[in-house]
Amino acid sequence: MLNRRRLFTASAAAAAAAQPVSKAFAKAMDSGLLLDVEDRGSIGLFERIGSLNVESGLDFHTGYRVWMAKSLHRSALLQAFKVLRENGYEPTDDLPLDQAVELFTSDPVIALDLHNWERTQEIMWREIKKAYDRDADRYLEELASAETQGPGGLELDSSLDIPDYAKYEIHIQPGGYVGDRFAGYIYYHGQNVVFLNGNYQDNLQTQWSRSMPEVMKGRKVERVLEQGCAAGQFAMVLKRMFPDAEVWGDDVAGPMLRFAHMRTVDHKLKVNYVQQLSEQSQFPDNHFDLVTNNLLVHEMPAEKVRALAHESFRILKPGGVYYPLDSYSGDQPRGTALAKYNAWRNYRWNHEVWWMEYYDLDMAQAMREAGFIVDENGPAGRTDTTRNIIGYKPA
């Protein structure tokens, strides 16, 4: 593996401490109300960023990336096919990774596509981070005012030993998930740009949740856990889908959980958040009816993914469901030179540190080894052509 930028271990809660409080914060604490910083209001579920200038910049980056997805990516794909054929291969041929990388990295069209995609992402993160750092005190107060409020609860663990695998600046996000006090805000706005303005109403999480009635058909849903819940978007969707269930979200990153809880309180949803390792949780045996996650598995080393499957089996009730959702959780095609190169470039340039391990991981087998009965042809995933893997704990 290539070396990547590591993060300093720091507590986001400590960063918020000892700040001089404003009159608005003191009033919110006295009244028991959330100090809600929404200078420019919301659009449905989406809380607008505080600066029109920054929002305009993010709109530009989104539009530019939409053009890239429709035009430049296509040109790079056609160029990749041309490169393969010029070297005596077909697009469906498999090649060793080193050979695939050597073939594609020197081509200017493919390089331009990669360079534009990653540089726009770096600029996007930087602009969002600056917006929150400029008005840091108010946003820190917003987070602090939500910590003791409900519905739902927030349990942070300042003594938690953050494992090295969680300290990388994944997606090139400054500070990653654990190293910036505003990681939740940064992630929330940045991922909407990454998904080409397709997640500003938690669209992706809602899309995935639509398969839940089929997955849980005939099963009573009393407790639900989202592992690695990040900004809490999927946990909130799950609570809306199962309003009578006790819904939990866990994550290793305190800054992400603080944001998730603050936003959940703002929307008056009862979700409980706890800071812990999903693969080594503090939940009791046979506790949940549904354990799920989204876009988590590819951000963990393969050995931790296997541990996650075992932990999910432990905490699920007999007859419970394990439902991991990710890019390769279904039958997305792999095993071609171009697929390997695209996985490598995601690993190398997008700081998806564990992507190559994930690319090679047999998720269904990992779940079987944990004890699950596995259905590899579950409901549709991110696209209509991919299917999701489901694990059932024997009753």
Amino acid 115: pLDDT: 96
What's the rounded Cα separation, in Å, for the pair 332 and 329? 8
What is the pLDDT, as a whole number, of residue 329?
66
Please report, to the nearest 10 degrees, the dihedral formed by the alpha carbons of residues 199, 204, 207, 208 taken in order: -160
Average confidence (pLDDT) over 207-214 = 91
What pLDDT, in 10s, does the model give residues 258-310? 999 999 999 999 999 999 999 999 999 999 999 999 999 999 999 999 999 99
Query: What pLDDT is attached to residue 23?
Result: 83
**pLDDT at 343 > cutoff 90:** yes
User: How many residues are present in the chain?
Assistant: 395
Nearest to 179 by CA among 233, 129, 250, 119: 129
- Relative to beta strand 246-251, strand 223-227 is parallel
Which strands make up the sheet holding 390-392, listed edge to edge?
154-155, 271-275, 246-251, 223-227, 288-294, 316-325, 390-392, 373-375
Mean pLDDT in the chain? 92
**Would you tell me how many other CB atoms lie within 10 Å of the CB of residue 27?**
13
Topology at the third CATH level for domain 38-48+134-392: Rossmann fold (3.40.50)
pLDDT at 151 over 50: yes
pLDDT range class, residue 3, cuts 50, 70, 90: very low
pLDDT over threshold 80, residue 190: yes
Q: Describe the crossing of helices 52-67 and 108-134 by its angle, rounded to 10 degrees.
A: 160
pLDDT confidence of residue 333 = 63
- pLDDT confidence of 17, banded at 50, 70, 90? very low
Measured distance CA(332)–CA(370) in Å, rounded: 23
pLDDT at residue 7 above 90?
no
pLDDT at 21 over 90: no
Q: State the pLDDT at residue 20.
A: 66
* pLDDT confidence of residue 16: 41
Between 17-26, 316-325, 331-340, the lowest mean confidence (pLDDT) is in 17-26
pTM: 0.92
Token output for 233: 């978007």
203 pLDDT more than 90: yes
CA distance 188 to 199: 9
The arithmetic mean of pLDDT across residues 72-92, rounded, is: 97
pLDDT over 60 (residue 15): no
How far is CA 375 from each of CA 29, 96, 234, 289, 367, rounded to the nearest angstrom?
49, 30, 22, 17, 10
Q: Provide the pLDDT for residue 1.
A: 35
Amino acid at the residue 75 = S
What confidence category does residue 13 fall into, taking pLDDT thresholds of 50, 70 and 90? very low
Residue 379's pLDDT band, with cuts at 50, 70 and 90, is confident
pLDDT of residue 388: 87
C-alpha to C-alpha distance for 281 and 311, rounded to whole angstroms:
7
Average pLDDT in the 101-117 region?
96
Is 30 a residue whose pLDDT tops 90?
A: no
Q: What is the pLDDT of residue 4?
A: 40
The percent of residues in the chain predicted with pLDDT above 70, rounded, is 92
DSSP assignment of 78-131, as one string? HHHHHHHHHTT--TT----HHHHHHHHHT-HHHHHHHHHHHHHHHHHHHHHHHH
pLDDT of 67 > 80? The answer is yes
Q: What are the residue boundaries of the structural domains of the chain, listed by start?
A: 38-48+134-392
Residue 140 contacts by C-beta under 8 Å, 6 or more apart in sequence?
Answer: 15, 16, 19, 181
Spatial contact of 252 and 166, defined as CB atoms under 8 Å apart = yes
